[in-house]
Structure 1
Amino acid sequence: MDLTELLVLVEQRRREAGRPIVVGVSGYGGSGKSTLARALVDSLPHAVRMRGDDFLDPVRVHRRSPDWDGVERDRLATEVLRPFRGGTPSWFRRYDWDLDRLMDPEPVPRADVMVLDLIGLFHPDLLPLLDLTVWSDVDLDTATERGMARDRAQGNDVDRRWTDVWVPNERDFEQRFAPRQVAEVLVPNP
């Protein structure tokens, strides 16, 4: 599905729901999730983006895990997703990677559509809170090459994390939860 078709689907889903909706964008690290999420938000009226990186545990995300347990799913669901979908005011805390701590609470933004991009998003604990699931469809090897190149360009030497932790985590998560198969929409990102 291309971006134009996806935008039509998001608007249709929003009308059908009759409340704010959450569009979950997932894919492998380096697959273009954030780029796709930004393109959606830039093209949709009354949409906001929630960065999944704000809900990663800074220690656990760098450890081997069969289910990407470095994603703080409970905090994301409780502080953001449930209140947003219910139209209830709420507060959440972003993780600041530079300061290595959770920031002061800030209000969950109000909008008709929230686009959330995150690795390991299509987990059974979060799927019921996503109104539309979109997979940034790039094979794991290509996504890994892109992610490693991006990190190197930003001055981050984390190649060993990619090869020893993140890629094995992706494989385990894929085997256990089949995120590409549970996605309603595949968006090629060649």
Structure 2
Amino acid sequence: MASSSEPGSPAETARLVLELAASRPPTLGETRLISIDGPAGSGKTTLAEMIVAREPTAHVVHMDDLYDGWTGLGSVSRQLSTLVRPLAMGRPGFYRRYDWLQGRFAETVDVEPPPLLVLEGVGSGVAELSTMITVLVWVTAPRALRRERGLRRDGDTIAPQWDGWMRQEDAHFAGQRTAERADLVVDGTGGRSAERMNRG
């Protein structure tokens, strides 16, 4: 595993992301919003964990809690709206947490306006929220590696669901052009440093 000081490590990338966010004014009311987007299995959760380790006041919301199951990527906008838009007005946001074991939505989760909100997962960088995102991070890794990571975590029995999810991602990202809009592009394999894009 790469050391925390090595270029390309998640910890070093987290430092770069936080520095970029701090250099910009809040975009979600008084909150700075970091959206960590990219395909499943690319390393987004690891980066989010490193950001929180460096900035303990950050609040993380995982997109996995917002989807309506394996086919829920296309309908997640409503959940994002009830979470993000109230925060932009200085009010608490909320979402319904999806229980993957029960296969249904469970409790409502309230989110008070934090100084820093980290929204992590596929679809967190949707274009309709672009003016509210302080820093958009795109995390990428080879397709075969991403699938291998996913099946290692969730088990080979969900391979059909994973393959279906990856097709949903392909359509989503093609339409959203998320990678092209990103402020930082991160190699989820840890092989190279984050690349800052020229966004003016």
Aligned position for 2:47:
36
Q: 1:85 to 1:161 in 2, by over 3 A?
A: same
Aligned position for 1:51:
62
TM-score, normalization: structure 2?
0.77
User: Can you list the C-alpha shifts for 1:112-131, whole angstroms capped at 9, x where unaligned?
Assistant: 01101121333323333322
TM-score, normalization: structure 1?
0.81
Letter in 2 for 1:105: T
Aligned position for 1:23:
34
Q: 1:166 to 1:89 in 2, by over 3 A?
A: closer
2:139 is aligned with 1:136: yes
Q: 1:18 to 1:161 in 2, by over 3 A?
A: closer
**5+ residue gaps, structure 2:** 1-7, 190-200
Q: 1:17 to 1:119 in 2, by over 3 A?
A: closer
Aligned position for 2:172:
173
Moved more, 42-51 or 166-175: 166-175
Q: 1:45 to 1:59 in 2, by over 3 A?
A: closer
Aligned position for 1:113:
116
Contact 1:137 1:187 in 2 (8 A): yes
Query: Which secondary structure does the structure 2 equivalent of 1:94 belong to?
Result: strand
- Cα distance in 2 between the residues matched to 1:88 and 1:96: 26
Give 1:13 shift: 2.3
Q: 1:107 to 1:15 in 2, by over 3 A?
A: closer
Aligned position for 2:188:
189
Q: 1:16 to 1:105 in 2, by over 3 A?
A: closer
2:86 is aligned with 1:92: no
- Cα distance in 1 between the residues matched to 2:65 and 2:103: 11
Contact 1:26 1:136 in 2 (8 A): yes
Q: 1:113 to 1:106 in 2, by over 3 A?
A: same
Contact 1:21 1:113 in 2 (8 A): yes
Contact 1:48 1:114 in 2 (8 A): yes
Aligned position for 2:4:
none
**5+ residue gaps, structure 1:** 62-67
- Cα distance in 1 between the residues matched to 2:169 and 2:94: 30
Q: 1:19 to 1:58 in 2, by over 3 A?
A: same
Percent identity over the alignment? 26
Bigger RCO (CA 8 Å, 6+ sep): 1
Q: 1:140 to 1:59 in 2, by over 3 A?
A: closer
- Cα distance in 2 between the residues matched to 1:131 and 1:16: 6
User: Can you list the C-alpha shifts for 1:51-104, whole angstroms capped at 9, x where unaligned?
Assistant: 11111012633xxxxxx41x4112221x21112233213443212222333233
Q: How many residues align?
A: 178
Q: 1:86 to 1:42 in 2, by over 3 A?
A: farther
Pairwise CA RMSD of aligned residues?
A: 2.4
